A and B are shown apart, each in its own frame.
Chain A
Amino acid sequence: MGQIQLKQVTKSFGDVQVIPPLDLTIEDGEFTVFVGPSGCGKSTLLRLIAGLEDITTGHIEIDGTDATDLVPAKRGLAMVFQSYALYPHMSVRKNIAFPLRMAKMDKAEIDRRVNAAAEVLNLADYIDRRPGQLSGGQRQRVAIGRAIVREPSAFLFDEPLSNLDAALRVGMRMEISELHKKLATTMVYVTHDQVEAMTMADKIVVLHAGVIEQVGSPLELYRTPRNTFVAGFIGSPKMNLINGEEAAKHNAATIGIRPEHIDVVESGGTWTGTVGVAEHLGSDTFFHIHNTGLAETITVRAIGDVSLTHGDTIHLNPRNDELHRFGADGLRIA
């Protein structure tokens, strides 16, 4: 079991309210990702759930019981920290056994659980080494190992992959997703990387300045962003948001069109401009286009290697059925 419910939770540091009243339900077994730009309160929210910070007002319920005033250890949650927070003077085995030792579990049971965790995470080769002798990815696994031996009702991850290099990050992303499938335990994951959010989440919570902008599955957020913030934040490269006259043609204050929903055509097309920067990735090509008569630079994704370079003239045709329309208040117009 691992259902977490936040009811009218607020958090203030002194006079500054970083999280205005917030309601959220995380269902049992769900992989929930908190995503948002840095300083949006996502880590604070995770720490409130963990109990490392006291909430100012409101209630937190875990599995239906009030956990607002429980100390972190009593909440049955395990956390993986950004810096891994391994104990440097203990071997990997002792690190993983630490929470069990604190729970005064008997030795045979501790050994059984540590060995089981080591097997799941392939730690056996370096179980007697110290954290200082391990690579970043290995440390990450040990930190996860220390979390899973407790058999918590939910896992909390605080930007666990941000210290790893790009290749390792993709690998660990898969491993965490697989772990979630295997354990079927609730996981709450904080990241500022929307790619991580899109690839791993069952449910994404987009946060901005402590406020939940939208909650939904990755594709829901991609297809129907509730407002211009979510529209601009989810998806890579960013959605083109166009204001002014062009938007007025569609009876909206702002229109949004994703780079992958604009076709490059030989001639004609709605917009014509010159290529600024062309990023050739092989599988795709991203063009940043100026002088279209619009105030904004337009980003376009073309499939494959399109041989247009800096200064070339390009004709664009946005797909009108993929257009997102937003009102003056930033909210989506259905």
Chain B
Amino acid sequence: MATKASRSAARIMMAPAVILLLGWMLVPLIMTLWFSFRVYLPLRGGDQGWAGFDNYTRFVSSSSFWPAVQTTLIIVLGVLAITVIFGILIALLLDQPIWGQGVVRILVIAPFFVMPTVSALVWKNMFMDPVNGLFAHLWRFFGAEPVSWLSDASMGSIIMIVSWQWLPFATLILLTAVQSLDSEQLEAAEMDGAPWLKRFWFIVLPHLSRAITIVILIQTIFLLAIFAEIFVTTGGAFGTRTLSYLIFQRVLESQNVGLGSAGGVYAIILANIIAIFLMRIVGKNLD
């Protein structure tokens, strides 16, 4: 039904959505680019003219830049490793016929519905609080000294909170992949003399490879930008300042919009490099 008239009608009808989306993306992008070349200090004289590439060199030469990149990478890789490995294990478990399957599946997916801010606050106050948290009580029950998680094991704690949030997503995608595996293939492998672990390694894991790349791709894009979890727990202290958090601090805490915008442009470039890289891998896997 692709006549000339229907095609132009489709274009006209799609136009509002396309224009809205483009505007939504282009306006902030252009504003960020604009501010990154300005000396703009809202509380100290406002917009004070061109800065050239000053903001860009200052952002990178700052002593907190490389540690922030490192922190970002550790969090992203840590969360990816935990969600993929446990996602596969939980997906295999949920694939087994068990009593109350439907309820269990909904419970497993539940964390994904909790807002990042809320889940981080719940973890911070109900589990990790060194005085009244459940972990503190548990530690004391066994006669151990409670750990002040968010200051002494800050990175581990944040990786755990974020992993808890993203595990359901990984599990869900991997579960559908596990369920799409032809059971006759597993039976054939069983007849061919492959014990359980080898069936997993040679049949199940290759079958899941596509789903795993998709999980990694989507999660990386979102994890590069995590903010709320850090904001409400450590506030960027104790070595948990990621790149996005550093940008936030430059703009709001140092009140330097120009410097922060330059950081934002770096983040866009970094995210795009990773996205292109991942798209290539996925493209190869999706043949």
Chain A: residues with CB nearer than 8 A to chain B?
50, 52, 71-73, 77-79, 81-83, 85-89, 98-99, 102-103, 146, 150
Contact size class for B? 10 to 19
Does residue B189 face the partner (Cβ distance < 8 Å to A)?
Answer: yes
Q: Please, which residues of chain B bring their CB within 8 A of the CB of A86? A: 185, 188
| B53-82 Cβ-contact flags toward A at 8 Å (1 or 0) | 000000000000000000000000000000
Known: A52-B190, A72-B191, A73-B190. A85 touches B182 (CB 8 A): yes
Chain B: residues with CB nearer than 8 A to chain A?
182, 184-185, 187-194, 198, 202-203, 206-207, 209
Could you list 19 further interchain pairs (A-B, Cβ under 8 angstroms) beyond the known A52-B187, A81-B188, A98-B194? A52-B191, A72-B187, A72-B191, A73-B190, A77-B191, A83-B182, A85-B182, A85-B184, A85-B187, A86-B188, A87-B188, A87-B206, A98-B189, A98-B192, A98-B202, A99-B193, A102-B193, A146-B188, A150-B192
Contact B187 A81 (CB under 8 A): yes
Q: Please, which residues of chain B bring their CB within 8 A of the CB of A73? A: 190-194
Contact B198 A102 (CB under 8 A): yes
Distance of A274 from chain B, by nearest CB (Å): 49
User: Which residue of chain B has its CB nearest to the CB of A81?
Assistant: B184
Give Cα A99 to B184, complex, Å: 15
Residue with the highest number of chain B CB atoms closer than 10 Å, among A72, A85, A150 = A85
Q: Please, which residues of chain A bring their CB within 8 A of the CB of B209? A: 89
Interface of A, helix, strand, loop or mixed by DSSP: loop
Q: Please, which residues of chain A bring their CB within 8 A of the CB of B184? A: 81-83, 85
Residue with the highest number of chain B CB atoms closer than 10 Å, among A71, A78, A81 = A81
Contact A50 B193 (CB under 8 A): no
Q: Which 3 residue pairs across A and B have the least CB separation, nearest first?
A: A73-B193, A99-B192, A85-B188
Distance of A18 from chain B, by nearest CB (Å): 18
Contact B190 A72 (CB under 8 A): yes
Choose from B182, B187, B206 the contact partner of A89 (Cβ within 8 Å): B206
